[in-house]
Structure formats: structure tokens, C-alpha cells
Amino acid sequence: MSKKTASSPYLDRKLLLALGALFILVSIPLTVVLSLKRPSFAPQAATAPLQVSSGNDDAYQLFGGQLDRTGAWVRMDCDPSGNFSADGGFRFTNVTIPPGSTINSASLQVYVRGTDYDDPNVDIFGNKALDANDFATEQDIIHRSRTNASVGWVATGIGSGPKSLDIKNVVQEIINQPGWASGKHLAVLVYSRGCSSYKAFWVSSIEGGSPATLTISYTTPTPAPTANIKANNSDGPITIGYNSPATISWSSTNATSCSVSPTGWSGTSNLGISTGNLTSGKTYTLSCSGAGGSASDSVTVNVSPASGGGTSGGGSSGGKKSSGGGAAAKYVETLQMQVSVPYLAGKMNLKMEVSGVKKELEISGDKKGYSLDLKDANLALNKEYSLVITSDKTLVKKVKFTPTAASTNLNIGDLVLGDLNQDNKIDSKDQLELTDSITEQTALGDLNADKDTDSLDWAILLTNFGKRGD
């Protein structure tokens, strides 16, 4: 009697889902985990490996003026008679080092022909140019503009094969030139010194098969701070009614400290502070500093004469709920919100509801500040409300607030990605939804809105696994 095995139409699907989930977990590379981290503005170390890449990018020139850029060897000889003395040059293209970088090392490596040609007696300079010409365009080595910095290389019998020397000070002077930009070309010039006896120094050209290389290790510059100050969410100048307030807000990047004059307010950002009632115009200046320097920005608030009405934010508004014209506001007109979705790369739509009024708002990963128009909501000031925020991929967020002005600031904070089945929690059911979406390549599982449903979305879900909404 043979054994019979019970079969369920769901067993194969569950097995495939489990295997699929396991495959995704195993295949998530370390780079995905690293990509989920917030960007760092600290200086970064990097290396630029460069090589002579064209026959016009290395050459030598005899003291008599003859230039050779096609031979197998670049000669840099010292001859007391001057008849056979020669200077060499090497050009390196597309040097992707940002301006302001610090050169940690710059190893120039050449391939020495043999033991009869291994007596360097030279000084190494840089061609002091923002974008060095090749040796076909500028057929001259001897008279090219040189850097002040140089490195001497004087030795006897260094042997054949690859030999290197650090010329970081030479490269640093080139990078420090005003107008330098990543992607420019640089040239190294090698001049023979005076000598009492013949010294030969021959190295391979690109035609010889072992061209010169230049490996540069550098540290990118610390980014400079930025400062941005606004009055009533405007860059200004604005005009307000006599004896009425304005709201000053500011933000910065790469700053460790900021202050606002003449008030003395401090902090690297602020969603809004009231100026108090003003009877005369005033200019507010934000000054920020950080490791990369300092920055400042100003905004001017003008005040209408006592006998006339003013406009807020450079425009006029009418109707019984207007906050202009010096009349006291009675209702909320706008919510100035700060909201973000960690790991969001593209755009997504949020649904918002307050006191029965429903609104929709499109947000993006590169922006935090948004304005929600509530003029038609009839929300009275100085009363508590609850704002409910939902989307098809985030947990529900509820924020209570009490508006005290027609334009009210509200910090919503972060929304949490991962609730694909909309039960307000992130669990194994969402994992199954995402596995299906990855397998079938549907947009449902594209949590970060980068138009790909992949292991990055899986990593986001794992990061938020177990969280619940409000």
C-alpha cells in the first residue's frame, strides 16, 4: 500500500514566498544598508588613480628645442655639455578632485628603462595652468609656466622597473588655483639639474607599454554653511499692518550655530517666532557658522503707517477671515507644516483630515516645508484640533494642535513607511505583500518611490518592522 501525501493548493505558494523572502534577505548587499543612512556632510577621503592615456600626453624635449612625443622612452638626461640634456613631461586628464581639497599624497610612478638609465638628477614641477594642454597642442616643455612647489629626485642606480615619488605639494598648488574645477587636466614637468658628469634617466612612455601613473589621495573640503531666513514664509521684503506681528523662521545647512540679530534668537533652525507687534520697520539678519566657514541672510519687515492697513507677505487678502488690514484674525488660513518621510526618494501623496475637512498634499524626499490651505475649513483660533495624516504606504499619524494665528506652524515629524496592507501596523502581512510585489514587479511595494521595487524597499520594511501607527 503506497503512502499518500495530502496536498494543499496554498503550500506551493507559501513555500515560494518563504524562499523568495529568504532570497531577498540574503541578497541585500551592505551597500543597501549604508544607503539608508542619512547623508553625511563631513569631509570624505578619496583616491584618484590617473594614467597617461595618449601619445600626446607624454614627451621629452632636448635643450636645443626638439620635442619627441612618439618614442618608447621619455628622456630626462643631464649632460654637462648641454648637447644631450633633456626635460620630460607627463599629462594626466580628467582629474576629478574638487576645489578646496587637501592632497594627502600624490605618488608619481614611472617605469625605469634599465640600469644604464637609472640615475635621476631632476626637479619635478607642475604645469601651473587650470587645464594643462597636451604636448601636441603646446609643443613646449622647457618654457611652460611652473608651480612654485617642486620635488627633487637625485639618486644613483635606483634600478629598473617601477619607481615612485610623492609630489603632493606640487599637486596641491595646482588644485589651489582660483578657478580649478573637478575634471580638469594637469601636467607634471621634470627638469634635469646641472651636473658635472653625464646622468641618464629614461622611463617608459605610453608607446613603450608602461606609461606613467599618478595616484592622488585627497580629502574633500568641509562644505560651507548656508543660511535662509524668512518673514511670513517670504524672502521679503514684506509689509505688515501697523502694530501687528510677523513670524520669523529660518533654516541652515552645515552649521553648528546660528543667531538672529537684533533679537538674539539662536538655533540652527526655527519653524517660526513672533516678532511681537511692530510699529516701525526692522531688518532681521541670520548669521551661521560651521566647520566650513560662515554664512548670513537677511529679511526686512516694513510696517504701514498707523492710519493705513498693510498686507502680509507682500500680497492682499479679503473676506471675513483675512489677517491683513490690521484686523485681528479669527480663523486658521494656512498650516505651515514640517513633515518628512525617511528614505523617500521620489514623491508621494498624503491624505489629511481635520475637523471633517479633507485635503491632499504631494510631498517629496528632498523637501520638508509645506503649506496647507485651510481657508475653507472655518477653524477658529485658540481651539484644539487633531490632524490625521494617511497614505497608502505609511502608518497613520495624528497630531494635535491649537492655532493661535491665521498662519500657524506645525511640526508633524517623520511618517513611517511599510504599511502596505493598511492595517496600521507593519508585520509579516506587509512582508508577504512586498514579496508579491517584488516577484510580480508591481508599484505597490515601491516604498521609497524610486520607481523600482527591490531589495532597498525590503530593507526599509525591515527597518520599520513591528511599528504601529496612531
Q: Domains plus CATH for the chain? A: 47-219 (2.60.120), 222-325 (2.60.40.10), 329-470 (2.60.40.4130)
Closest CA to 88 of 73, 107, 106: 73
How would you classify the pairing of strands 385-390 and 347-354?
antiparallel
The string of pLDDT tens digits covering residues 100-111 is: 899 999 999 999
With bands split at pLDDT 50, 70 and 90, how would you rate the model's confidence at 7? very low
Q: How far apart are CA 5 and CA 94, in angstroms?
A: 67
Residues 434, 457 contacting (CB under 8 angstroms): yes
Is a pLDDT exceeding 80 seen at residue 46? no
Helix axes 428-440, 11-27, angle to 10 degrees: 80
With bands split at pLDDT 50, 70 and 90, how would you rate the model's confidence at 132? very high
Per the model's pLDDT, the better-predicted residue between 409 and 47 turns out to be 409
The string of pLDDT tens digits covering residues 77-92 is: 988 887 788 999 999 9
The string of pLDDT tens digits covering residues 17-32 is: 444 444 444 444 433 3
pLDDT at residue 374, as a whole number: 87
In the block, cell 625605469 appears at 112
Max mean pLDDT among 1-10, 15-24, 94-103 falls in 94-103
Is a pLDDT exceeding 80 seen at residue 320? no
Residues 73, 153 contacting (CB under 8 angstroms): no
Mean pLDDT of 156-168: 96
Mean pLDDT of 291-317: 71
What is the 3-class SS of 376-417, one letter each residue?
CCCCECCCCEEEEEECCCECCEEEEECCCCCEEEEEEEECCE
pLDDT at residue 319, as a whole number: 35
The rounded radius of gyration (Å) of the Cα atoms in the chain is: 34
Mean pLDDT of 370-393: 89
Backbone angles phi, psi at 453, to 5 degrees: -105, 105
Q: Which residues contact 180 (CB under 8 A, 6 or more apart)?
A: 99, 130, 174
Per the model's pLDDT, the better-predicted residue between 36 and 146 turns out to be 146
pTM comes to 0.49
The dihedral built from the CA positions of residue 355, 469, 409 and 360, taken in this order, carries a sign that is negative
Q: How far apart are CA 334 and CA 313, in angstroms?
A: 13
pLDDT at residue 413, as a whole number: 87
Is a pLDDT exceeding 50 seen at residue 322? no
